[in-house]
Homo-oligomer: A and B are copies of this chain.
Amino acid sequence: MKEVKLIIVGFGNIGRRFAEVLEAKKGFISRKYGLGFSVVAIAEKNGSLVNEKGLDLKKALKVQLARNPCWTGRKSLDVIKSVEADIMLELTPGDIRSGEPGLSHIMRALEAGKDVVTSNKSPIALKFREIMEYARKKGCEVRYEATVGGAIPIINLYRNTLQVNEVRNVYGILNGTTNFILSKMSEESVDFDIALKEAQELGLAESDASYDVDGVDTAVKLVILANSLMGRNISFKDVKVSGIREVNSETLDLAKKHGSEIRLIGDVAAMEVSPRLIPKNHPLNISGALNAVLIETDVAGDIILVGVGAGPRETSSSLMSDVLDLGVRKR
């Protein structure tokens, strides 16, 4: 059985849940794909756990990383460069202005000839071309299904099932928090502030919710979809962004009178994030904290995907999709 070696960089919610899923699915993956995975390092910016023969994931999950007796001060960039592995998983939270520390992690892994799988939107949205060109030069792959739409396999759907199609447009609901707020406001006739507060209480929105409600998160995902599904070369500043703060009960009532709901839509062809009227019967008219994406293709017509757009467990499904794709090729 082929053994695939992984380095996990970033061991927060997503990293830990990914490790749990990997551990739980060991037998399933070995039976189905004839592959074994071992995690040879878990790294944070200023320290790491390393075992070139494979870490005991159960133990690593039990305690905080820095309290693990094997924890050393060996830094992530050093681990990525020096520890032998096939794939580096970049699972840190990204800074949307600089893309760091993820960007440096990714470039370092490619430099060392390692494939990359990431859930980190910022570096992919900021430096798509640079990353992809450097990967090509080094004969490596960078996969990023988990950056858009949580559990929904949008990018791999296009890559692995709609191969013959050219994508004419991609648009939809790419942020579950705003969709939850808009659904709440419409269904229960409450104001924005009350709906936001409930989203915060449910853990669906940060205490500073501006990243979601001002449309920034949607715009970042739109940039990734534009560059990867439609061969564009755009960045965040090219996108016209309006959030949902201006939506109020009058606009929602007016929408309803026209048989529609208001949804925050990211639209690649229009390069725009804005609240839009979506007819009640339209497949994109989805309530609650879900994501929904419409891919307009030349042969298959419109394909709509709906699913859970966030959450560490669901995101692990997308990470595993990329990891298994790369693993199977190495087999």
Interface residues of A (CB under 8 A from B): 21, 25, 28-29, 32-33, 145, 151-153, 156-157, 160-166, 280-281, 283, 286-288, 290, 292, 297, 299-308, 311, 313-314, 316-318, 320-321, 324-325
Indicate if the CB atoms of B304 and A305 lie closer than 8 Å. yes
Indicate if the CB atoms of B164 and A324 lie closer than 8 Å. yes
Indicate if the CB atoms of B308 and A306 lie closer than 8 Å. no
Contact of A156 among B145, B161, B166, B317 (CB under 8 A): B161
Contact of A290 among B25, B28, B165, B283 (CB under 8 A): B283
A307→B165 CA distance, assembly (Å): 14
A313 with B299, Cβ < 8 A, contacts A157-B157, A161-B160, A161-B161 known: yes
A32→B297 CA distance, assembly (Å): 16
Indicate if the CB atoms of B290 and A314 lie closer than 8 Å. no
Chain B residues with CB below 8 A from A145, complex form: 161
A308 with B299, Cβ < 8 A, contacts A163-B33, A317-B165, A324-B163 known: no
A230 to chain B, nearest CB (A): 14
24 pairs, CB–CB < 8 Å, chain A vs chain B: A21-B164, A21-B299, A28-B166, A32-B163, A145-B161, A152-B300, A152-B303, A153-B157, A153-B162, A153-B300, A153-B303, A156-B161, A157-B161, A160-B160, A161-B321, A163-B320, A163-B324, A164-B317, A283-B290, A299-B317, A299-B320, A300-B308, A300-B314, A300-B318
Chain B residues with CB below 8 A from A29, complex form: 164
A91 to chain B, nearest CB (A): 16
A324→B145 CA distance, assembly (Å): 21
Indicate if the CB atoms of A321 and B287 lie closer than 8 Å. no
Contact of A307 among B304, B321, B324 (CB under 8 A): B304
Chain B residues with CB below 8 A from A281, complex form: 287-288
Q: Residue on B with the closest CB to A294?
A: B306
A157→B307 CA distance, assembly (Å): 13
Contact of A301 among B162, B314, B321 (CB under 8 A): B314
A314→B301 CA distance, assembly (Å): 7
A317→B157 CA distance, assembly (Å): 13
Q: Residue on B with the closest CB to A163?
A: B324
A55 to chain B, nearest CB (A): 20
A301→B297 CA distance, assembly (Å): 26
- A32, A166, A302, A304: residue with the most chain B Cβ atoms closer than 10 Å: A304
Q: Residue on B with the closest CB to A155?
A: B161
A301→B287 CA distance, assembly (Å): 16
A166→B151 CA distance, assembly (Å): 14
List 5 tightest A-B contacts by C-beta distance, closest first: A153-B161, A160-B160, A300-B317, A164-B320, A151-B300
A303 with B307, Cβ < 8 A, contacts A164-B29, A281-B287, A317-B162 known: yes
Contact of A283 among B292, B297, B301, B324 (CB under 8 A): B292
A227→B71 CA distance, assembly (Å): 47
Indicate if the CB atoms of A308 and B301 lie closer than 8 Å. yes
A303 with B21, Cβ < 8 A, contacts A163-B33, A163-B324 known: no
A307 to chain B, nearest CB (A): 4
